[in-house]
Structure 1
Amino acid sequence: MAAPRTARAIARAELTQQIKDEALRQLGDAGAGELSLRAISRELGMVSSALYRYFASRDELLTALIIDAYADLADALDAADATFSDPDHATPAATGTEPAAQAAQAERWATAAVTLRDWALAQPHRYSLLYGTPVPGYRAPMETTVPAERVMLAFFRPLEAVALAGDPAGDVADVGLNAELRAAGTLLGPHIGPARLAAGVAALAQVIGFVTLEIGGHFHGGFEPADALYAHAIEALTGSLGLVD
């Protein structure tokens, strides 16, 4: 049994969250490049030296915000995927290699794509922190990779399910790329063949690219809202993954 939290620990956790909340407000107003610990301490009525006891630098605070954002997005994706991955709720057609089973995995992949876009449109400043323009002078540490992988896995679980059912797809022609894909597959889906894994990486890149363009205002005056265009793109991508004809 975990030891009860002390009043000091609770107070520290609450103030840490206040710092993060103020940082997120700054992100929404001015972007990550303008994030300032001094400005945060001023808004919270703290001396800057006190804030540095919580986050030693701007980069440390950025890392915490990135990890939180990846975790929040991954939680949303996992929740959306629950009806597909829970045997008590999955439809009988959700397994196997027959067309109905393939279609179920296509729907599962499409649900992840819709969930990612919905999350991004609801909090574009956090999405931009993950997939937008890199923050000058900031290099994300390795500790951000695990929560980032959780997001990616939501898009590869349907491909792994299809592969496990007996349709792994084949290799790609480039020998070097084939080896890279097999290495990546140890994380993303060890049973996914290199050809489908490559298609999965490309499809996820297109999803992120679409949403990034939309958040950046590049569809204004042409496709606004971009719901129908996004639905069309998702349908095409599930076809490129070999999940639908």
Structure 2
Amino acid sequence: MDVSGNSTADENTKLPAVVKAAARQLLVGLGAAGLSLDAVARDGGLAVAEVAAVFPQRDDLLTALVIDAYNGSGAAMEQADQAAVAAGASAGVRLLAVTRALRQWSFDNPAEFTLIYGSPVPGYHAPQETVPPASRTPVVLAGIVRSALEAGELTPPRRAVPGPPLLLPEAVQLFGGVPEAPFSDIIERGIVLWSNLIGLLVFQVFSRTHDSVRDESAFFDYAIAVAAESIGLEVPSGRP
């Protein structure tokens, strides 16, 4: 270390990333339930005190990993959407692009996907700070649906949600307000689309469709197109 202390400062700056990298390796082998500060220190070649200095409790480390996973998956979708918009793509093409991007991220990062979309970690309750990163996925989807609505690319539904709205105010705010009829239930339909997307990824990442589907990539596109029909959006067929 030089007299200015720069070496120590650099090490302290890098330490959180080193700890999280070791924790991600443990996620692959043990899952989130097997994560502990002791295990991370052992596998990362660190002292437990070093790990505890940046993440005092296991839940602090889990929260950091959850936030990183949501941010990573959300960024993949945002980048795909930006590229599609720049290419002048329709809303249907944009939807296919962002869902494919999320699928690729999920297969590239199965442990992180499992952390945020798999079974809940026993004893862990995600704090409020995970909400903004988690919102990046529905925000991308909502933006595409809103654009399709404004561009007249949606076909009116044959059936509306009966009774009063089924939404929390936060969902309405995220979308930018409730549209007028015949699209007054488009937010509910968008949440169905989002749910279908995550469920489909769970099936594919956890190999629930490998013994019944010949081409899982093509099936994914087909399933997204079918799900998009529920909001009146046409998704192109084929794999460009």
TM-score w.r.t. length of structure 1: 0.83
Structure 1 position 71, deviation (Å): 0.8
Instruction: Give the structure 2 partner of residue 157 of structure 1.
Output: 143
- 1:224–1:121 Cα change, 3 Å: farther
Q: 2:172 aligns with which of 185, 188, 200?
A: 185
Q: What is the aligned-residue RMSD (CA, Å)?
A: 2.4
Q: 1:117 aligns with which of 103, 109, 127?
A: 103
Q: 1:204 aligns with which of 194, 198, 201?
A: 194
Q: Verify the 8 A CA contact 2:91 2:153 in the aligned structure 1.
A: no
Instruction: Give the structure 2 partner of residue 134 of structure 1.
Output: 120
Structure 1 position 33, deviation (Å): 0.6
Structure 1 position 15, deviation (Å): 1.6
Instruction: Give the structure 2 partner of residue 97 of structure 1.
Output: none
1:48-197 to 2 correspondence within 5 Å?
48-85=48-85, 89-91=86-88, 104-165=90-151, 172-177=161-166, 180=167, 183-190=170-177, 192=179, 193-197=183-187
- 1:26–1:183 Cα change, 3 Å: closer
SS for the counterpart of 1:107 is helix
Q: Please, which runs of 5 or more residues in structure 1 have no aligned partner?
A: 1-5, 95-103
Structure 1 position 173, deviation (Å): 2.0
Q: Verify the 8 A CA contact 2:74 2:137 in the aligned structure 1.
A: yes
Structure 2 distance, partners of 1:80, 1:232, is 19
Partner AA of 2:38 in structure 1: R
Q: Verify the 8 A CA contact 1:172 1:195 in the aligned structure 2.
A: yes
Structure 1 position 38, deviation (Å): 0.2
Instruction: Give the structure 2 partner of residue 227 of structure 1.
Output: 217
Structure 2 distance, partners of 1:133, 1:172, is 30
Structure 1 distance, partners of 2:151, 2:211, is 44
Structure 1 position 217, deviation (Å): 2.0
Q: Verify the 8 A CA contact 1:157 1:189 in the aligned structure 2.
A: no
CA distances 1:135-158 after superposition (whole Å, capped 9, x unpaired): 000000000000111111111111
Instruction: Give the structure 2 partner of residue 218 of structure 1.
Output: 208
CA distances 1:174-201 after superposition (whole Å, capped 9, x unpaired): 2142xx2665121134365441111111
Instruction: Give the structure 1 partner of residue 40 of structure 2.
Output: 40
Structure 2 distance, partners of 1:66, 1:81, is 23
Q: Verify the 8 A CA contact 1:110 1:238 in the aligned structure 2.
A: no
SS for the counterpart of 1:234 is helix
